[in-house]
Amino acid sequence: MDNLEEWQLYFIEMMEKAPFEKYDLNFDLDNPAIKAHFTIEQYLDYFCYNGKVGKIWAIISMLCKPKVIVELGTAFGNRTDLIGRLNPNAKLYSVDIVDPLPLNNIRVPTGYLARLNKTPFTFIHGRSWETQIDEKVNLCYVDADHREDSVYKDSIWAWEVKDENDWYIIWDDYPLPSVEKAVNRFCKEKELTLRSIGGYKYVGSKTIPYKEKKKCQI
């Protein structure tokens, strides 16, 4: 534990506070993110000791301390589960137009992995940019419909519901041309500086300090 970074200690602390249920479906078993849900040891190996995604979300959670989080695009609930575990005191909403999810010959509730682990979140069924909530949002994660017009509408929605004093909008899959065009258009219109955190792009009331580990040269 002496060699662990601060974010890893935070990650482990949050995991120790949360229940863990073994993945129980015969679906997508070769997916490393799914294998991580077989045991808590595999979960920590994948997300904490060897995982960039775990680092990114631990840093975001630890430094931003969001009180209200909205995830646009729930799907299987892998990210929902991770975000919820790392932000146990936040109110987490997750939105998806598909419910339940079709998985081969079965259908399961959207957000299945988070539901399996009893990760507290409120699921909202509907179009992401039509979501109605009463609170101002500190952190909005945009990962729903990846078509350009949809990403742009999601971005405008996130902008309009943000907490003016403390807010972040994070986009997944920016390398996709449709996402890139929508995000760049949004940032240009709002005169915002687009920043990077790992593989994500974000804008916010503050800069999130994040550094990639340098790879050893052989």
Residue 152 lies in a domain: yes
Q: Is the pLDDT of residue 217 over 50?
A: no
**Phi, psi for 142 (deg, rounded to 5):** -100, 110
Mean pLDDT (whole number) for 195-218: 81
Q: How far is CA 164 from CA 46, 170, 184, in A?
A: 35, 16, 21
The domain tally of the chain equals 1
Q: What is the pTM of this model?
A: 0.95
What Rg do the C-alpha atoms of the chain give, in angstroms?
Answer: 17
pLDDT over 60 at 51, yes or no: yes
What pLDDT is recorded for position 211? 77
Distance CA 148, CA 15 (A): 36
Residue 210: the pLDDT is 86
22 within domain boundaries: no
Residue 141 domain-assigned? yes
Domain assignment of residue 153, yes or no: yes
Task: Please write the tens of the pLDDT for every residue from 9-48.
Answer: 999 999 999 999 999 999 999 999 999 999 999 999 999 9
CB-count exposure of residue 172 (10 Å: 0-12, 13-18, 19+): buried
pLDDT given at position 17: 92
Interval 170-179: pLDDT, tens: 999 999 999 9
For residue 187, give its domain range: 53-204
15 within a domain of the structure (yes/no): no
CATH value at residue 99:
3.40.50.150
pLDDT computed for residue 214 by the predictor: 54
Is 70 exceeded by the pLDDT of residue 2?
A: no
Structure confidence at residue 205 (pLDDT): 97
Domain presence at residue 125: yes
Assigned domain for 7 exists: no
Digit-coded pLDDT (tens) for 83-108? 999 999 999 999 999 999 999 889 99
Nearest of 170, 158, 182, 188 to residue 79 by alpha carbon:
170
Residue 73, domain member (yes or no): yes
